Structure 1
Amino acid sequence: MSVSPGPGDRYVVGVDYGTLSGRALVVRVGDGAELGTAVHDYRHGVMDSALAVDGRALPADWALQDPQDYRDVLRHAVPAALAASGVDPRRVVGVGIDFTACTVLPTLADGTPLCELPELRTRPHAWVKLWKHHAAQPQADRINALAHARDEPWIGRYGGKVSAEWQFAKGLQLLEEDPEVYHRAERWIEAADWIVWQLCGVETRNVCGAGYKGLYQDGRYPSRDYLAALHPGFADFVAKIDGPLAPLGARAGGLTARAAAWTGLPEGVTVAVGNVDAHVTAAAAQALDPGRLVVIMGTSTCHLVNATEPAEVAGMCGVVDGGISAGSWGFEAGQSAVGDIFGWYVAHAAPAGYASHEALTVAAAVQPVGAHGLVALDWWNGNRSPLVNHDLSGLIVGLTLATRPPDVYRALLESTAYGTRMIIEAYAEAGVPVDELIVAGGLTANALLMQIYADVTKRPLGIIGSAQGPALGSAIHAAVAAGAYPDVSAASAAMGRVDRDGYRPDPERARAYDALYAEYRRLHDHFGRGGDDVLLRLRAIRNAARRAADHDPAG
């Protein structure tokens, strides 16, 4: 049934920046009805093999983007969504933004990206580093080692390990590999905060990005002494990221004339402070209460849950006061690849006749649990939680001449569910309860995958009631920033939606999965916790071979 705009209704726009595209969604403030949406694909996508401007080869584990692609989302997706909705732009009271994280870029003091300076266009370090830029793992290793050696108080809030994906590791890599660009960078800013800056002309920093990706805890960043001990030139790094921090749902400013022209919205419309795509989805899924783990499943997966008290959870991505919603401690964990693993198999390994998710799912769904005899490790893009090591790689154990494509596909689906169970158990061991799962993202359409998650985790699994969870969450925050609701919880109750009776665990299948999960856990600990570092050695051999080939293309 279509939803029509009402003459007296108010509306908000949520803009969700993903890995390959940006989406705009027009939402009615009163009830969260979604009236129009549009997607704009990034022209340059992800630059992970070559720099678009000159074709220069990029090293292993790099992932860059062009900030102009982000502006183009505002110029194309927002007007298209408004047109599709039939909403009068004058009835729009707010705009909210969410972004992948940590996606970070160096800029001048006025927000100009360094990659847009003619003299720096061909310098890879001047461009946006996407969340899955994992080339800063050596810097992350040193950050962690020094933090533990100095007994830094903040390291426990991140499960004992800072990720290569985050601001400090990427910033240290910038300093060590291109010091000129580092010193030219007057600001080092999350893309969520940068695009808000573009919209309203005011630089703000959101508490979510600062807490989870910028090591901001208890009112401060890591000390100057600590940073100088990492590298003398890194002592001033906090000056590049420090700035006014705003709570989620706060007003960052009003739409500038330039941004109004991009979007087709009136000048002065409220712009909410930025947010992270996963974290903003919790409001859309009505998953703000403690014990409700929201699992945002896409190319990767993020696991978020609120609790009433802080706790140190081994290998987690962080615990932040107000990081998901005000008044609670927000916990984050994640898996670096989920949908990407399934996509890799279909694109590169499945033979003719099985080269689609649909065909593989149908064939895999008829198998009894364990019939394929396989266990896989879900580390195709490293491990985010709980090992926090992006140099790890995937593994499939049990292959025989009788193994068939649906067997492998199902084992890969199951491996990601085992990874989620590892995270849930780490939460539980630290005293953070997880009573139910609420899943958001495009993978919710795969009923086999959803039932596997319910069976493996032995918990009820609900499904978000929107196909545009992050964009709806951003719209909810925009409504709060515009004054339509007193807080995010109230807006979530009115505008969010979820089906809590989606999937229930089957006791027989759950028992069968317990045995397979035990094997997964043995492999996880053996290859991930020092039993055998063969995966790390193979990664080092690969990287050395690629470097040699880059220096001698003829070889």
Structure 2
Amino acid sequence: MNERYTIGIDFGTESGRVLLVDIENGNEMATHVTPFRHGVLSNRLPDGCKLEKDWALQHPGDYLDVLYTSVPEVIRLSGVDANDVIGIGIDFTSCTILPVDKKGNPLCFDEKWKRDPHSWVKLWKHHAAQKEADDITRIAQATNQPFLQRYGGKISSEWMFPKILQVLRESPDIYEETDLFMEAGDWITFRLTNELVRSSNMSGYKAFWDKKDGYPDPAFLAAIDERLLDILDTKMRGEVLPIAGRSGGLTEGMAKKMGLKSGTAVSVSIIDAHAGVPAVGAVHPGQFVMTMGTSTCHMLISEKKQTVEGICGVVEDGIIPGSFSYETGQVAVGDSFAWYIEQTAPEYVKKEAEQEGVNLHSLLEKKASCLRPGQSGLVALDWWNGNRTVLVDANLSGVIAGITLSTKPEEIYRALLESTAFGTRKILETFENDGIEINDLFACGGLPQKNKLLMQIYADILNREIKIADGEQVVALGAAIYAATAAGRINGGYDSIEEASSKMAKVKEDTFIPVKENVSIYQQLYAYYLELHDFFGRDHISIMHGLKKLRSVD
């Protein structure tokens, strides 16, 4: 039998990562990263046009660069025959949406529209649609929409319809010109296959779609704005295909540009963090996965459907066919550590890092590891970019309590690490309080590979053993696993995600085990975290909401 390979393409926040793997064992044959040339557009458009606060846009041309650069490069680096590549898997940050014209081209590519910010890609962390999210939540509650229970009772500003509603309200010309609003992941599969399909995973978690009920009733959408009455048949048209399925075959034109064989199976797109679930083998009920990077996405597989406060969604067949899959998340994790390093680290610490020949993260991690839990007398809230779960409020902001004139940089750094673990614990306890069983914890993404202190803190605060994914490009590996399933046994692939995962998943033998002495101290600190959580997030939200209204963008 010929050797068989799949390619996983992971579109993140700052770059696109491409991984070529052997589907027999999940071994990495080659990997290549293409940084996004335009990065995240949060202050200005490429032509200098100023953006308002809470905007986060991207340039769709950066996504095409990944396809045309990194895919041919992994073929070259590996020496693999392109004819032996049986599938391509796509994962993408979500909800990341773009408006396209009748030819399927992004409106920002058009000279006529490119100066309007609404013609560009709205990245997942675009939070300028909070008012729209609040309005949709209010109307859904008032009309007793059944879909609201699947999302913990509250709609996030990060999702599809709040972002579309913002376009409609603020730039009706762009709305009218838009032929389709698409998830960026679905747009990529469309470019690859010339088949207009939508992912059940992305539609289920980010666009109110349900396997049994479909989208919400058009009358509800019209109650939000009468111009949305027919949007499901017009600008949201497209068949919703199940996850782990085949979106189509690679077109001849794209095959030439990417150095692959035309007709190669392209999987239905999946949310980037969700692809980490099969990559660590967490395909059974009770297994909780943390995909940790700039933000953290938590996924949990369960046999039952349950209403859980503030979840991002529960979707039948959402990640693993045959199970209910829950998603929650924290909007700023690695981003909050990076903020501290880039914006507030004192000069003497920077000089010390230079003298030791290490980066600031490494130096502060080393210094923070010498501290005992609670030694600094600090506790922080992890809301530096709002709260996704369980409060679902983008208007909340970060807090560090206990700072004195003797507080050191490494103490603040450690408090920020601890705050993200406290936030995860709050999420875990919310699941368990609502009757959802959690047995195993897995961590994947960039942070678990880089920061051992962080993972030990998580083990101590959560009081659970944590298993770590093996490999740098775990999410891309997950996309490659879905590609092997999309190809199907007839093409040398697999019949199910479970089968593909059992062959290709990678987890390290070493795990992080809670330290008993640390667990007891963190229990006390966690109680303080909860006091701050409820004070600022429930009882006195006017403080943070008011401060945000006063804030302006330079």
Q: Please give the TM-score of this superposition, normalised by the length of structure 2.
A: 0.95
Q: Does the alignment pair 1:38 with 2:42?
A: no
Q: Where do residues 210-221 of structure 1 align in structure 2 (5 Å cutoff)?
A: 210-217=203-210, 218-221=212-215
2:526 partner amino acid: Y
How far residue 417 of structure 1 moved from its aligned partner, in angstroms, is 0.2
What does 1:123-134 align with in structure 2 at a 5 Å threshold? Answer: 123-134=116-127
Counterpart in 2 of 1:88? 81
Determine if the alignment matches structure 1 residue 278 to structure 2 residue 278: no
Among candidates 452, 469, 491, match of residue 500 of structure 2? 491
Instruction: Give the distance between the partners of 1:380 and 1:115, measured in 2 at CA.
Output: 30
Partner deviation per Cα, 1:125-182 (whole Å, 9 max, x = no partner):
0110000100000000111111111111010110011100000100100000001111
Would you say the 8 A contact 1:460–1:501 is kept in 2? no
Aligned partner of 1:419 among 418, 423, 427: 423
* Corresponding letter in the other structure for 1:208: N
1:375 match: 379
After superposition, residues 397-546 of structure 1 pair within 5 angstroms as 397-444=401-448, 445-483=450-488, 484-499=493-508, 501-543=510-552, 546=553
Match of residue 250 from structure 2: 255
**Deviation per residue, 1:408-430 (Å, 9 max, x gap):** 00000000000000110111111
Give the corresponding residue for 1:309: 304
CA shift, 1:337, in A, is 0.4
Between 1:182-191 and 1:233-242, the stretch displaced more is 233-242
Moved over 6 A (4+): none
- 1:139 paired with 2:126, answer no
For 1:208 and 1:530, locate their aligned partners in 2 and report how far apart those are by CA, in whole Å.
Answer: 35
Aligned partner letter, 1:495: M
Percent of aligned positions that are identical = 46
Question: Partners in 1 of 2:236 and 2:40 — Cα distance?
Answer: 24
The answer as to whether partners of 1:435 and 1:459 remain within 8 angstroms in 2 is no
Q: Is 2:69 the partner of 1:76?
A: yes
Matches within 5 A, 1:155-170: 155-170=148-163
Q: Tell me the C-alpha RMSD between the 2 structures.
A: 1.2
Which letter maps to 2:258?
A: T
Instruction: Give the structure 1 partner of residue 355 of structure 2.
Output: none
**TM-score for the superposition, normalised by structure 1:** 0.95
Aligned partners of 1:118, 1:347: CA distance in 2, in Å? 35
1:177-196 Cα distance to aligned partner (Å, 9 max, x none): 00111111121110001000
Cα distance, 1:360 vs. partner?
0.6
The alpha carbon displacement at 1:460 in A equals 0.8
Gaps of 5+ in 2: 351-359
Structure 2 counterpart of 1:59, one-letter code: E
Q: Is the 8 A contact 1:461 1:501 kept in 2?
A: no
Aligned residue pairs total 538
8 Å CA contact 1:279–1:324 kept in 2: the answer is yes
Q: Aligned partners of 2:214 and 2:177: how far apart in 1?
A: 24
Cα distance in 2, alignment partners of residues 516 and 500 from structure 1: 30
Q: In the alignment, residue 259 of structure 2 is paired with which amino acid? A: G
CA offset at residue 467 of structure 1?
A: 1.3
- SS across alignment from 1:209: helix
Matched, 1:364 2:359: no
Q: Which amino acid aligns with 1:46?
A: V
Amino acid of the residue matched to residue 492 of structure 1? S
Report the residue type matching 1:236 in the other structure.
Answer: D
CA shift, 1:88, in A, is 1.2
8 A contact 1:288–1:305 mirrored in 2: no
1:64-87 superposed Cα distances (whole Å, 9 cap, x missing partner): 111111111000011111111121
Q: Which residue of 2 aligns with 1:14?
A: 8
2:169 corresponds to which residue?
176
- Output the CA distance in 2 between the equivalents of 1:526 and 1:212: 29
- Residue 391 of structure 2: which of 370, 387, 399 is its match? 387
Q: Distance in 2 between matches of 1:230 and 1:74?
A: 38
